[in-house]
Amino acid sequence: MKILANDGIAKSGIDALETAGFEVITDTVAQERLVKYINDNNITGLLVRSATKVRKDIIDSCSSLKLIGRGGVGMDNIDVDYAREKGLHVINTPGASSASVAELVFAHLFGMVRFLFDSNRNMPLDGDTRFKELKKNYGAGIELRGKKIGIIGFGRIGREVAKIALGQGMEVLAHDPYCETATIDLDFYDGQKLSFNINTIAIEDVYKNADFITVHVPFQGKPLISKKEINMMKDNVGLINAARGGVIDESDLLDALESGKVRFAGLDVFVNEPTPNMRVLMTHQISMTPHIGAATLEAQDRIGTELAEQIESLLK
C-alpha cells in the first residue's frame, strides 16, 4: 500500500512505515493536481499538515483512499465528518507537538517582555550609532515571575503552557468550557515531581485579571477575542496566538496596540496564511513567527512515529 506524505514526514515516520511494509511517497503535489495523482498512483493513505486541504472533492473522487492523517492537532483543513461518513479513517497526533507549541509561546513571551523582537531588528541597523538610545528604549522590561498568565483552552497544549508558567513562578488563570479542574504534573530531570491542581474560571475573569493571555482553541468561524474582549482586559496586557489565525481579530488587535491598551503581541498564526496582512507584518509591537509551533525536530519525530503506529494498526 502507498502512503503519500504530501506535506512531508520525519525520517522516523518513513522508516516505521517502510518497516511495516508500506511504500512512502514524499512528493509535494500541488492542490489542483492531487486528485489525479492519488488516482494515478493508487494512493491508500494521504498524510498532510497545514498546507494541503482535503475537502469533499478529494474524498469523493479518490476511491483508493482509505485513510487521511494530519501531522499535528488541528484538522480544520480536512472535512473530517464527511470523510468518516464515507468510511475513511481520519487520524491526527494531538499530543506529539504540545510541548513544542508551549515552548514557542514562552519564546514569544520572554522576547516580548524584554523587547528582543524589536531589538533584534534595530541593533543590526543602528547598534553602532544609537547604542545608548536603544539601551534606554529597551531598558524598561518586566519579569514574568509573579505575573498572571491567562490560558484560554486547557487541553494538551494549554496544560503544557501551564507547566512552564508554574516553573517560572507565574499564577495560572485557565478557562475551558469542557474542563473544571486539571492536575498539572511537573517532572524534573532528577526524578522529582510536583503536582498542581488548577481550577478553571470564567473567561471574563481571565480577561479582567491576566497580565498575559494565550489562546489554544480552534477557530470557530469568528474571532474569540475582538474589541469587546480586549476592552475587558488590563491595560498593557500581552496577547499570544499560536493556535489558529483569526482566533484573535487582527484588525482590533492592531487598533489596541496603536492605542496602548495592548502592550505587545506574539503571533505564530495569521488570518491570510501564507500571505499575512502587511500592516500586521510591519507593526513593531508584534513578535512574529511563520506558523512554526510544531516545527521542532523532536515534535516531528513524535508525529512521524505516532502516525506510523496508527496507520499500521488501521490498515494492516
The residue ranges of every structural domain in the chain are 2-94+297-315, 98-288
What does residue 35 show for φ and ψ, rounded to 5 degrees?
Answer: -60, -50
Q: Is 114 a catalytic residue?
A: no
pTM above 0.85, yes or no: yes
Contacts of 23 (CB under 8 A, 6+ apart): 1, 2, 3
What does residue 195 show for φ and ψ, rounded to 5 degrees?
Answer: -120, 140
Q: Is 103 a catalytic residue?
A: no
CA 150 to chain centre: 16
DSSP at 107: H
Whole-number Å distance between alpha carbons of 82 and 296: 31
Whole-number Å distance between alpha carbons of 297 and 210: 32
Reported as a single tens digit per residue, the pLDDT across 32-55 is 999 999 999 999 999 999 889 999
Tell me the three state secondary structure of residue 156.
helix
User: Can the peptide bond before residue 94 be classed as cis, meaning omega within 30 degrees of 0?
Assistant: no
> Which one from 49, 70, 244, 302 is the annotated catalytic residue?
244
Closest CA to 51 of 68, 67, 71: 71
Given this chain, do its domains 2-94+297-315 and 98-288 carry the same CATH topology? yes
| Residue 160, CA atoms < 13 Å, CB-side half-sphere | 18
Radius of gyration of the chain (CA): 22
For residues 183 and 166, the answer to whether their CB atoms sit within 8 Å is no
**pLDDT given for residue 149 in this prediction:** 98
Whole-number Å distance between alpha carbons of 286 and 118: 8
Q: What is the mean pLDDT of the chain?
A: 96
Whole-number Å distance between alpha carbons of 90 and 75: 9
Q: Is 244 a catalytic residue?
A: yes
Grid cell at residue 166: 508554574
Tell me the three state secondary structure of residue 16.
helix
For residues 269 and 243, the answer to whether their CB atoms sit within 8 Å is yes
pLDDT band at 74 (very low <50, low <70, confident <90, very high): confident
> Does pLDDT of 112 surpass 90?
yes
> Does pLDDT of 94 surpass 90?
no
C-alpha distance from residue 43 to each of 10, 76, 84, 196, 303 (Å): 19, 22, 18, 47, 20
**pLDDT given for residue 72 in this prediction:** 87
Q: For the domain made up of 98-288, give the CATH fold.
A: Rossmann fold (3.40.50)
> Which one from 84, 273, 284, 298 is the annotated catalytic residue?
273
Whole-number Å distance between alpha carbons of 110 and 169: 14
> Which one from 49, 156, 291, 302 is the annotated catalytic residue?
291
Give start and end residues of each alpha helix (H) in 2-154. 11-19, 34-40, 56-61, 80-85, 98-113, 116-126, 131-137
Whole-number Å distance between alpha carbons of 198 and 153: 13
Q: For the domain made up of 2-94+297-315, give the CATH fold.
A: Rossmann fold (3.40.50)
**pLDDT given for residue 300 in this prediction:** 93
> Does pLDDT of 263 surpass 90?
yes
Reported as a single tens digit per residue, the pLDDT across 159-196 is 999 999 999 999 999 999 999 999 999 999 999 999 99
CA angle centred on 80, ends 79 and 86, rounded to 5° = 95
In which region does residue 264 sit, left (phi positive, over 0), alpha (psi from -120 to 50) or beta (all else)?
Answer: beta
